[in-house]
Amino acid sequence: MTSRSLDGWLSYIESQHPSEIELGLDRGSKVLAKLNLSRPKVKVITVAGTNGKGSTCAMLTQYLVSQNYSVGTYTSPHFLTFNERIALDGSPCQNDLICQAFDVIETAREDIPLTYFEFSTLAALWIFDQAKLDFWVLEVGLGGRLDSVNMVDTDVAVVTSVSLDHVDWLGNNIAVIAQEKAGIARKGKFLISGVVNPPSSLAHVAREVGAILIQKGDDFVFQLNQGTWSWSGNGVSYNDLPIPSLPLENAATVVAVLSYMGLLPKQQDLVALFSTAQLVGRFQKVAADPDVYIDVAHNPEAAVELANRLASFPCAPIAVFGMLKDKDINSVVAHLAECFSDWFCADLSGVRGAKASELVSVITAVTAEVNTYAFDSVEIAFNAALLKAEQEQRAVVVFGSFVTVSEYLTLSQRKSDL
Nearest Cα residue to 112 out of 17, 177, 245:
17
Q: Residue 415 has what pLDDT? A: 79
Q: Running DSSP on this structure, what letter comes out for residue 252?
A: H
Q: Which residues contact 144 (CB under 8 A, 6 or more apart)?
A: 48, 150, 159, 180, 181, 182, 183, 184
Q: Residue 17 has what pLDDT? A: 61
Q: Measured between alpha carbons, how far is 123 from 114 in angstroms, rounded to an integer?
A: 12
Q: Residue 363 has what pLDDT? A: 96
Strands of the sheet with 396-399, listed across from one edge: 284-287, 292-295, 396-399, 318-321, 342-346, 371-375
Identify the structural domains of the chain with CATH numbers, from first to last: 6-276 (3.40.1190.10), 284-417 (3.90.190.20)
Nearest Cα residue to 229 out of 306, 237, 284:
237
Strands 396-399 and 91-92: unpaired
Whole-Å CA distances, 199 to 94, 174, 203: 42, 7, 8
- Identify whether the C-beta of residue 37 lies closer than 8 Å to the C-beta of residue 126: yes
pTM over 0.85: yes
Q: Residue 176 has what pLDDT? A: 86
Q: What are phi and psi of 285, to 5 degrees?
A: -80, 120
Each residue's pLDDT, cut to its tens digit, for the chain (418 residues) gives 567 999 999 999 988 765 656 667 889 999 999 999 999 999 999 999 988 999 999 999 999 999 999 999 999 999 999 999 999 999 999 999 999 999 999 999 999 999 999 999 999 999 999 999 999 999 999 878 889 999 999 999 999 998 755 455 454 688 888 999 999 999 999 999 999 989 999 999 999 999 999 999 999 999 999 899 999 999 999 999 999 999 999 999 999 999 999 999 999 999 999 999 999 999 999 999 999 999 999 999 899 999 999 999 999 999 999 999 988 999 999 999 989 999 999 999 888 899 999 999 999 999 988 999 999 999 999 999 999 999 999 999 999 999 999 999 999 888 777 6
* CB-count exposure of residue 60 (10 Å: 0-12, 13-18, 19+): buried
Q: Residue 20 has what pLDDT? A: 57
